Amino acid sequence: MTKKKFMTLIMLIALAAVVLTACSGGGNKKEDSSANATKTEEGAKTEEGNKATGDIKAEGLMETKGGFMSVATGGTGGTYYPLGGALSNILNNAGVNYTATAQATGASVENVELITKGDAEIAFIQNDVAYYAANGTDTFKGNQKSSLRGLCCLYPEFVQIAASDDSGIETIEDLKGKKVAVGAPGSGVEVNVKQILEIHGITYDDLGKVDFLSFAEAADQIKSGQIDAAFITAAIPSSAFTELATTHNIHLVPIAEDKAAELIKKYPFYVNLHVTPTEYKGQDKELSLVAVQSMLAVDEKMADEDAYNIVKLLFENLDTMKESHARGGDIALDKALDGMSIEVHPGAQKYFDEVKK
């Protein structure tokens, strides 16, 4: 063997030794370290969960197999997401083998699809969107979701009309001839606008100008005087409204009680509420407004035991919901079926029948 070949062989043997060492002891140490970190993290989560269990009221639940519960909410910056996180926490610590997690989504319309396709078990949905889905109308025309079922209603989302003080708009009838923003085309807000105008005998042709704008865009145009009023469907207080009210003189336009009753008769998902929105600058009078409701929905395939347990756990742990978001404080058992726009899941109905006795 030549000296050159001998040196080449030595180098190959040395390289092989390095490779074998890397594939044995060193790799296992790294893997063990990762595994220990994972176990430590899981242990911390378990300990935290055990501490939380004592704060969750979970007596009198129905026996269930438990299982995974994906809770479809909305954007992470919205109201649905933190409330969904609170509901997941309640379910996870109820001691009945639920594994729940809040899923950020595009909200109501997307959530209907997730529920009916089996990609989520529980969903936050506006009750008007649920109505359209269950009946195959408006947004869901030709795409009926007949398996959608309601668990309960949560809190009102008011149809608010912000009008400039300089516009002369004091009633909905005063919108005639005015420049009005009606939401994005085909949005839930625009559907609300059309329904309210219809009850008042008003069409888009009666308005001076119709702008399809988000509320942020509409707020800018109210400030610049390009429009007179804008519709928004949201909980009170709405951050978009409060921000506009701090920089511009605006007010809320009410809906007369008789017109509200007429609207509810035709579209039963609305409710008529009287509010004094003191969170908005200059709003110190009680107003008659209409609202749709946020609600929880599931598919008809959900076991009765699970639907029963979910609503029972929700309404017996409202403090947890309230701590997660201000709107959680608006959830109340005596209003759980107000504005329910679709068939109630029989498991949920069993709970409501029990508490009435």
Query: Alpha-carbon distance 22 to 28, whole Å?
Result: 9
| Range with lowest mean pLDDT among 2-11, 56-65, 97-106, 256-265 | 2-11
Residue 15 has pLDDT above 90, yes or no: no
Q: Are 314 and 69 in contact (CB under 8 A)?
A: no
DSSP 109: H
Q: What is the CATH number of domain 67-154+294-356?
A: 3.40.190.10
Residue 188 has pLDDT above 80, yes or no: no
Give CATH 3.40.190.10 domain extents, the chain. Answer: 67-154+294-356, 157-292
Q: What angle do CA 308, 313, 318 make, to 5 degrees?
A: 135
Beta strands in the chain (DSSP E): 67-72, 98-103, 122-126, 148-164, 179-181, 209-211, 229-234, 250-252, 271-275, 287-299
Give the Cα separation of 337 and 154 in Å (integer): 9
What residues contact residue 76 under an 8 Å CB cut-off, 6+ apart?
A: 104
| CATH tag, 157-292 | 3.40.190.10
Closest CA to 288 of 253, 264, 263: 253
Measured CA angle at 85 (ends 116, 124), to 5 deg:
35
pLDDT for res 17: 44
Listed in sequence order, the DSSP H helices in 96-199 are 108-116, 127-135, 188-199
Q: With CA atoms as reference, report the closest residue to 321 among 73, 41, 13.
A: 73
245-276 tens-digit pLDDT: 888 899 999 999 999 999 999 998 898 999 98
Q: What is the three-class DSSP state of 134? A: helix
- Rounded to an integer, the average pLDDT of 309-329 is 94
What is the chain's mean pLDDT, rounded?
85
Is the pLDDT score of 46 beyond 70? Answer: no
The proportion of the chain whose per-residue pLDDT surpasses 90, expressed as a percent, equals 64
Q: Rounded to whole angstroms, how far apart are CA atoms 122 and 92? A: 14
CB 319 within 8 A of CB 282: no
| Contact criterion met (CB below 8 Å) for 242 and 280 | yes
In this prediction, residue 28 carries a pLDDT of 37
**Per-residue confidence band for 37, with pLDDT thresholds at 50, 70 and 90:** very low
Q: How far apart are the first and last CA of the chain?
A: 99
